[in-house]
Amino acid sequence: MNGAELLIRCLENEGVRHIWGYPGGAIMPVYDALLGSSIRHYLTRHEQGAAFAAQGLARTTGKPGVCMATSGPGATNLVTGIADAMMDSVPMVAITGQVPSAMLGTDAFQEADVIGMTLPFVKHSWQLESADEIPEVVRDAFQIAGSGRPGPVLIDVPKDVQLALTTGEPLACDSRNDESAPDAVEVARARDLLWHSERPVIYAGGGVRIAGAWNELRAFAEATGAPVVHTLQGLGGVPGDHPQFVGMLGMHGSRAANMAVQESDLLIAVGARFDDRVTGKLDTFAPGASVIHMDVDAAELGKLRRPHASLKGCLRRSLAALAEPTQCAPWRARVDAWKTEHASRYDAPFDSIYAPRLLRDLCEAAPRDAYVCCDVGQHQMWVAQHWKFADPRRHLTSGGLGTMGFGLPAAIGVKTTHSDATVICVSGDGSIMMNIQELATLRRYGLGVKLLVIDNSALGMVRQWQELFFNGRESEVDLSDNPDFAEVARAFGIEAIGIDRADQVPDAIEAFLAAEGPVMLHARIDRAANVWPLVPPGASNSDMLEPTATATEPDERLEPQSV
């Protein structure tokens, strides 16, 4: 067989059943080899869509997703999706075609140094020199992508390598992973910190999802009795309706969650990395707290906050080693009182659509096990604040890179992987335009993704920051010339519903969830709507901004106040 055929056989051997991609000259032999393969290829309408669709599989299964593109612009269009996967520790194998080996470095047609340009964004990369290398490289690529702290890898395959004849055969899969137990001395130190703590808080991040450790996290939380706060990527580690869950923390976290962290005397960081959007001004973050830090990646331990106990290794084993009672009942009662006092309100006194209530109502009506794929912006924060996730793999969003255009192709990847599941994409009018061409992919494959577009005719998050921190001077945030997105969806052959009043929401949600095929719900909201609370950039999490107490119209100017 030739190298392209061997590559496909090796992918089949790794259990690959879905690939998302876009063909071109330098990868045409691989596409020829796909014919007759057991692998289902999905043609996205842009290579970035292919990368995010592959993430849809990876984020929900923990297995590497596979995307594929040709050389030059095909490869460069994958880069954003690869970088996004690296920032959020998502296992992915990206395969790119390349000009023939003899033409490398000659500025040949559609030549691009994809190895060089992705170097900061991959765990490892290969540019093949021989078809005989393919079995070992593919085996190693899947092992590296999925082990330890997962991430993307890249295989660049020159066209002559794809066409070269080989007698190679697929190799046995290598599924090794880090199941190491934490150091006994560090465990003893952490137990001592727990025993002497009066105000512990569990701060759990995306590592819990990656490690498949949510059951151990819940057992640990219930054993210790400690309140739990989550990062954006950690949501669902403890269910949103669990009595110990306080909320998301950080820049747009709940008041109760931020207050609990700031007043804690022990912070138990589980698969979290002390990201700037979580900590605010780092030296004021949980100022009186000792820190227990659990992570599989030793590079994260002490990178930003020096821990008093470092548990490196398997999160499941680390959590099980510390699951003992603490003396924090009075503290729990105090935090519960904050939760009640600062609970979200949904009784907005105006006729237009109030996005938090729309999302709360959709959450209550949707199946508990629905997958929700979010783009980036105000709608992303509203989902994080108001949707009660029961499982961390049910919430997909671009966290570290904050990539607009993530939601729709990620939802495509989820729906092709979990065909019987309810898959909802929540996007904004800015984000949806980034990869709106993937509506054609929905239609072609009949994928029943439910797409909610929250439309405020602006780049809402940027507009909010300009309002608050740039004296209301707006610069290039106006999207008042948006198309009618419902009409756009219909032009692609997709059912669509358009609403702009609160009284339309119940019937729209019912129709939205009942639709059998792909469907869009286009919800127009007020342009002036903001996300609250908000910690200003560079400020302490103690300095949350909130609107004034009353507002009778959605477009009434809300002046922030420090609380």
Concerning whether 159 is annotated as a catalytic residue, the answer is: yes
- Could you list the beta-strand ranges (E) of 369-509: 371-374, 395-397, 423-428, 450-455, 495-499
**Residue among 55, 121, 142, 159 flagged as catalytic:** 159
pLDDT of residue 132: 97
pLDDT of residue 386: 97
pLDDT of residue 179: 82
**Residue among 259, 461, 520, 544 flagged as catalytic:** 461
- How would you write the pLDDT of the chain (563 residues) with one tens digit per residue? 999 999 999 999 999 999 999 999 999 999 999 998 999 999 999 999 999 999 999 999 999 999 999 999 999 999 999 999 999 999 999 999 999 999 999 999 999 999 999 999 999 999 999 999 999 999 999 999 999 999 999 999 999 999 999 999 999 998 777 788 999 999 999 999 999 999 999 999 999 999 999 999 999 999 999 999 999 999 999 999 999 999 999 999 999 999 999 999 999 999 999 999 999 999 999 999 999 999 999 999 999 999 999 999 999 999 999 998 988 999 999 999 999 999 999 988 789 999 999 999 999 999 999 999 999 999 999 999 999 999 999 999 999 999 999 999 999 999 999 999 999 999 999 999 999 999 999 999 999 999 999 999 999 999 999 999 999 999 999 999 999 999 999 999 999 999 999 999 999 999 999 999 999 999 999 999 999 999 998 899 999 998 864 444 444 434 443 33
Concerning whether 47 is annotated as a catalytic residue, the answer is: yes
Starting at the edge strand found earlier in the chain, the sheet holding 266-270 runs 245-248, 228-230, 200-204, 266-270, 290-295, 309-312
Concerning whether 300 is annotated as a catalytic residue, the answer is: no
pLDDT of residue 553: 42
**Residue among 1, 87, 103, 110 flagged as catalytic:** 110
CB-CB contact of 242 with 220 (8 Å): no
Concerning whether 110 is annotated as a catalytic residue, the answer is: yes
**Residue among 5, 14, 47, 300 flagged as catalytic:** 47
Give 184's contacts (C-beta < 8 A, 6+ positions apart): none
- Assign residue 72 a region (left: φ > 0; alpha: ψ between -120 and 50; beta: otherwise): left
Q: What is the token pair recorded at 21?
A: 């991609």
In the chain, the N- to C-terminal Cα span, in Å, equals 69
Report the relative pairing of strands 290-295 and 40-43 from DSSP bridges: unpaired
Concerning whether 461 is annotated as a catalytic residue, the answer is: yes
pLDDT of residue 349: 79
C-alpha to C-alpha distance for 428 and 406, rounded to whole angstroms: 11
pLDDT of residue 175: 77
Give me the domains of the chain, ranges plus CATH numbers.
Answer: 3-163 (3.40.50.970), 184-341 (3.40.50.1220), 355-531 (3.40.50.970)
**Residue among 109, 169, 553, 561 flagged as catalytic:** 109
Rounded CA Rg of the chain:
24
